[in-house]
Amino acid sequence: MNAVPDVSPAGTAGSSLAALNAWVAEVAALTRPDAIHWCDGSDAENAALVAGMEADGTLIRLNHETHPGSWLHRSDPNDVARVEHLTFVCTPERDDAGPNNHWMSPADAHAKIDALFDGCMQGRTMYVIPYCMGPIDSPLSRCGVEITDSPYVVANMRIMTRMGAPALARIEREGRFVKGLHSTGELDPERRFIMHFPEELTIKSYGSGYGGNALLGKKCHALRIASHQARNEGWLAEHMLILGVTNPRGETHYIAAAFPSACGKTNLAMLIPPEGYRKDGWKISTIGDDICWMRPGKDGRLYAINPEAGFFGVAPGTSRKSNPSALASIQSNTIFTNVGVTADNQPWWEGLGEGEPAIDWRGEPYDAGKRPAAHPNARFTVSARQCPSWSPEAENPEGVPISAIVFGGRRPSLVPLVFEARDWTHGVLVGAAMGSETTAAATGAVGVMRRDPMAMKPFCGYNFADYFAHWLSFDDGSNRLPKIFHVNWFRKGDGGDFLWPGFGDNLRVLEWMIGRVKGEAGAVETPIGNLPTAGDLNLDGLELTGEAREKLFGFEREGWKAEFDSIGEYLDSYGPRMPRALKDEQQRIARALAG
């Protein structure tokens, strides 16, 4: 084995980084890399890493005339999505992880995964990545350090976080950070685990190079570990987009919205207003498309930051029609993962609507009868600043004030286009009861309806019952809490077609929400919440059938009776930890539906 160089970055001898240096030395002794590189986040460092990856085939240069500075990465065919069944939350007590998580005791988990890490970086370079989740000077931000043997991870973390010297300086000032250890290992599905140790603020991931399994600042830190931190420190770490809606009077309202993966979060975050709205002066600004950290401000309102600096978006379905802002964002300086390519080496995916694929995501000649050109969970990684609708408020260290929180999922039947929760407790129940059809973002069957509370089922780092109690705790009389809504863009008619056009027309629903926040929009009270009538929304220019109006704005009492029986059973599945207030709310609505 080659001699491993000094593990300390320049200038840190005897500093408050002693704990970091000691941990890096401990990991080096376990993994035995040939070299150690401390990442500074510089352009020169990134250029050298990219050149090395191009040389060994990790990255493939795309057409630099049409997509300058952009690259293609093909992951192992068995490593293309989150692996929820191999993802563990490791707490001393099983009940603290809850039935919503796979559990392993910390001692057993460390032993199992450390045996895999033993000597795994021989012949490789170990990269030490200091990073900050959130604006570098924000009191809402939190820092971490990921150790990895993947230069692909380094390149992606540089885009997705505030990575390098400024983050290291903040870690030195604060003396605290989340520890993340990652190795691609052998990319063997039988030797793959993602372990979280919330009480130790530690993540260990082995055997995967895919996105959220390997970019440990993303779901692992920003949601699973951060949700645990948030409960202890009095804030919320959520799987939510953040967007600003500015009306013709120049008033901007910020909305946080939770949807399961691949249910249109990025499209909504970058919404393009319909032509009539644009002419009237409506504007959308993008703060974030995936993760939201919220904390009560001095005025009692919830203030939110996007802890990420980039987008790790789903490519298939992204087009000039569905999301022109996302498409504009990824024309340069983008890392594409598992997309197809055209004959002239441009990235291509199903739903793009232009060009023709020549090579599929596995690097083989495209054959429509064999497999799609792009994997259904193919991704792009790009700086958020490249988005045409990106807002400088994304860098506001104090965050942006949230006027409304939105929950939603894929429900082909029963659930109307939009309804408003009666109060905060009802809103928490609405989030807790969220259901959605599964998508390709996780391994397993697609199109199966499952409960996905607050879109956090794969990401909450502790018992859901305790998580619901934490949400309820914000309604303590001292906070000016946002209104809570539920939307369903995916309601279908009897013929199987979507009844709502979606995309830019979703602004019509956001306008109604803002009207409700301001006390200016009408609604009809029902047991499930306040529903708009078709006349309460601006539907100018839309042609909705009678069936669409009936089902998008209707209330189906018998179906909701069965739904609330199911919700009651779901809440009961968490046992005695389930907050009484949430069960009382479910029973209150069930009685109203029966009456």
**Domains parsed from the chain with CATH numbers:** 18-57+79-234 (3.40.449.10), 237-308+391-556 (3.90.228.20), 311-386 (2.170.8.10)
What's the pLDDT at 174?
A: 94
Please give the pLDDT value at position 218.
95
The two beta strands, 35-38 and 125-133, are parallel
262 is in an annotated binding site: yes
Q: 444-461: per-residue pLDDT in tens?
A: 666 677 899 999 999 999
Q: What average pLDDT does the segment 512-528 reach?
A: 98
Confidence band (pLDDT; 50, 70, 90) for 260?
confident
What is the model's pLDDT at position 556?
96
pLDDT of residue 531 exceeding 80: yes
Rounded mean pLDDT, 502-523: 97
- CB-based contacts of 472, cutoff 8 Å, min separation 6: 424, 425, 428, 579, 581, 582
Any known ligand binding at 112? no
Which residues pair with residue 87 across a beta bridge?
Answer: 194
546 in a labelled binding site: no
Does the annotation flag 267 for ligand binding? Answer: yes
pLDDT of residue 262: 67
Of the candidates 588, 556, 558, the one whose C-alpha atom is nearest the C-alpha of residue 571 is 588
- What is the pLDDT at residue 442? 60
pLDDT in tens, 380-426: 999 999 999 999 999 999 999 999 999 999 999 999 999 999 999 99
pLDDT of res. 8: 57
> What pLDDT is stored for residue 437 in this prediction?
76
pLDDT at 11 (0 to 100): 45
The gap between the terminal CA atoms of the chain, to the nearest Å, is 76
Per-residue pLDDT tens digits for 35-61: 999 999 999 999 999 999 999 999 999
CA distance 503 to 270: 10
Annotated binding residue at 263? Answer: yes
- What is the per-residue pLDDT for 14? 44
CA pair distance 352, 397, nearest whole angstrom: 36
Residue 292: active-site member: no
- Residues sharing a CB contact under 8 Å with residue 48, sequence separation 6 or more, in sequence order: none
Q: pLDDT over 70 for what percent of the chain? A: 95
Length of the chain (residues): 595
- pLDDT for res 261: 74
The answer to the question of whether 261 is labelled as a binding residue is yes
Mean pLDDT for the chain?
95
What pLDDT score does 10 carry?
Answer: 46
Report how far residue 35's alpha carbon sits from residue 74's, in angstroms, rounded to the nearest whole number. Answer: 25
Tell which residue, 126, 124, 130, 123, has the closest CA to residue 145. Answer: 130
Q: pLDDT (tens digit, 9 = 90+) per residue, 354-383?
A: 999 999 999 999 999 999 999 999 999 999
Q: Which of 120, 143, 263, 292 is catalytic?
A: 263
| Residue 377 is labelled as binding a ligand | yes
Which of 11-20, 104-113, 541-550 is predicted with the least confidence, judged by mean pLDDT?
Answer: 11-20
Q: Is 450 annotated for ligand binding?
A: no
C-alpha 295/C-alpha 305 separation (Å) is 9
Contact criterion met (CB below 8 Å) for 464 and 570: no
Is 128's pLDDT higher than 60? yes
Statement: residue 24 has pLDDT above 70: yes
Q: Is 265 annotated as a binding residue?
A: yes
Read off the pLDDT of residues 178-194 as tens digits, 9 standing for 90 and up.
Answer: 999 999 999 999 999 99
Cβ–Cβ under 8 Å, residues 571 and 586: yes
Query: Can you give the pLDDT at residue 321?
Result: 87
